[in-house]
Amino acid sequence: MSRRFSLIAALAILLALTVGCTNKKSVNPLANVGTKQPDKVLFDKAMDAMKHNRFDVARMTLQTLIITYPDSEYIARAKLAVGDSWYAEGGTASLEQAEQEYRDFETFFPNMPEAAEAQLKIANIQYQQMEKSDRDYTHAKRAEDEYRNLIMQYPDNPKLVKEGKERLLEVQEVLADREFEIGKFYYDRGSYPASIARLQSLVDKYPLYSKADEALFLIGQNREAEIAQLRSRPACQGLNIPPGCVGEAAKGSFIAGWTKDASTAYSQIITRYPLMEREDDAKKRLAALHQPIPRPTKAAVAQNKADAALSWEGLRAQWKGQGLEFDYLIGRNFSKLPANTFVMRRSDFEDASKKDLYTRYLRGWAMGLEFGHLNPRAATHLTMQQFPGLASQMKPPVAVESMMQLANVFRGDFANRKGWGWHDEAAWNLFFKTIKDIGQTTQDIKAADVVKNDYVAGANNFDKAKLKADADGYKLPDDYASIDVEAIRKGL
């Protein structure tokens, strides 16, 4: 289990501080089909004009409705229809007008079901103007951003989210293909570092790219070309220093590092994309480099058929909110290793004058985590109020699930712990042994020397009854009160 903070780690920090294109129209229940109300008449006339491609007439009629009857039940539908008229009319200028109308609709009617439709059409406008991968990619990049916005902002609209995900894959294929061609261009001209930078960025950002194996293979080829170049350069010996020479020690170090990089790229083809075309070529290159050839597991083959992913808790909920549905291996369900902790300088730990400061700081963390455990919806709402940037990235249900996943990791097996922040010495000894076994350290580290529980009692010394009363008494807004916490907890 990684000892890193995800984006949602900001939630616990705040808690510590606070305690101290579908065209289907929506059914309007107030819009009686048989009514002769003037606003209804105007709306029907506009729709008829739209049907007969008389878009100017439709817009004028809709604007008349909006101005004359500002309190009409048809206002929202009329505003959306104005955007639809520009959208249906087509052409660059009309599409720009449509996009602005849809953005206005999202601003004024963010909670209506049609807001998701407006966002999908904004994305589709960019999609329709998208160029091929070797042309201007401005619209492709904007389409990627807008489809992501749809998936993140409207997770409760599965039909439109599904359409958005499908289009997003198409857009990302174009963007990835552009990066691949640039990387290949640099490789063909011998600009190996530039080629590697492009290709590595591609495989990191677009792992579902149809030629991801080709990109990884080209990374390996870049490194092998650099090795060949370096070997051809003369050695610097004594006073004989020819132009472009390289010391033998430096040459050996570079070659070892680049060989490792090439092997990593080739191995990733086998372990991540075992059914793609470059698998056999990758095995041959690893054999030529005298490197071990990994064997893909059944799980790896399954990943290549129907993708899976590795993610931190907290981030897993955000990915789900973006429509990335995978089967996850949850580390806490099988790992015996510890999760998160704080790091303190030994000199600070031994400084008695700082003990009270650190105790109060860690108590704030413990109180915040306890509050979040007792009322995750309230904790998330407080966080989103403090960090509006986070609130703009995810809907409340996604944010609450992310909070609960992260808090679940911090809490761990609480029944066998002595409060928030307690360290299991045996688990930490296993951790230090493991990182030595896999080569991350050469030192023998004993948990008793570096992992301490001295602050645990003080950090957990707070009025738990009062904190529970505060958590239970927090007044939730409607969009948070409606979230089913127990349903989320079952999925943890």
Is residue 151 within 8 Å of residue 172, measured between CB atoms?
no
> CA-to-CA distance for 83 and 99, rounded, in angstroms?
7
| CB-facing half-sphere around the CA of 289: CA atoms within 13 A | 29
> CA-to-CA distance for 164 and 144, rounded, in angstroms?
10
Is residue 183 within 8 Å of residue 202, measured between CB atoms?
yes
Closest to 450 in 3D by CA, of 343, 297, 305: 343
SS3 237: strand
* CA-based torsion, 329, 333, 334, 336: positive or negative: positive
Task: Output the tens digit of pLDDT for each of the chain's 492 residues.
Answer: 333 333 334 434 333 333 333 343 433 333 433 445 788 899 999 999 999 999 999 999 999 999 999 888 899 999 999 999 999 998 889 999 999 999 999 998 988 888 999 999 999 999 988 887 777 889 999 999 999 999 988 988 888 998 999 899 999 999 999 999 999 999 999 999 999 999 999 999 998 898 999 999 999 999 999 999 988 888 787 676 777 788 788 888 899 999 999 999 999 998 888 878 898 899 999 999 999 998 876 666 655 654 555 566 767 776 666 555 666 666 666 677 887 788 889 898 999 999 999 999 999 999 999 999 999 999 999 988 888 777 776 788 888 888 888 888 888 778 888 888 888 888 888 888 888 877 777 888 898 899 999 999 999 999 999 999 999 999 999 989 999 888 888 877
Start-to-end C-alpha separation, the chain: 15
Rounded to the nearest 10°, the torsion over CA 320, 326, 329, 333 is 50
Is residue 160 within 8 Å of residue 150, measured between CB atoms?
yes
Q: Please give the class, per CATH, of domain 9-17+313-490.
A: alpha beta
Is residue 17 within 8 Å of residue 364, measured between CB atoms?
yes
Distance of CA 329 to the CA centre of its chain: 18
- What is the domain partition of the chain in residue ranges? 9-17+313-490, 209-306
Structure confidence at residue 5 (pLDDT): 37
Structure confidence at residue 386 (pLDDT): 85
Rounded to the nearest 10°, the torsion over CA 113, 119, 122, 123 is -130
Structure confidence at residue 16 (pLDDT): 39
Please give the structure tokens belonging to residue 38: 């003037």
At residue 490, what is the residue type?
K
Burial 258-294 (b: 16+ CB within 10 A, else e): bbebbbebbbbbbebbbebebbebbbebbeebebeeb
Structure confidence at residue 413 (pLDDT): 78
Please give the structure tokens belonging to residue 360: 């109060």
Is residue 86 within 8 Å of residue 97, measured between CB atoms?
yes
- Looking at residue 6, the DSSP 8-state letter turns out to be -
Closest to 178 in 3D by CA, of 147, 148, 144, 151: 144
Q: What is the pTM of this model?
A: 0.54
- Looking at residue 292, the DSSP 8-state letter turns out to be -
H-state helical runs in 206-333: 212-232, 248-272, 279-288, 298-305, 315-321
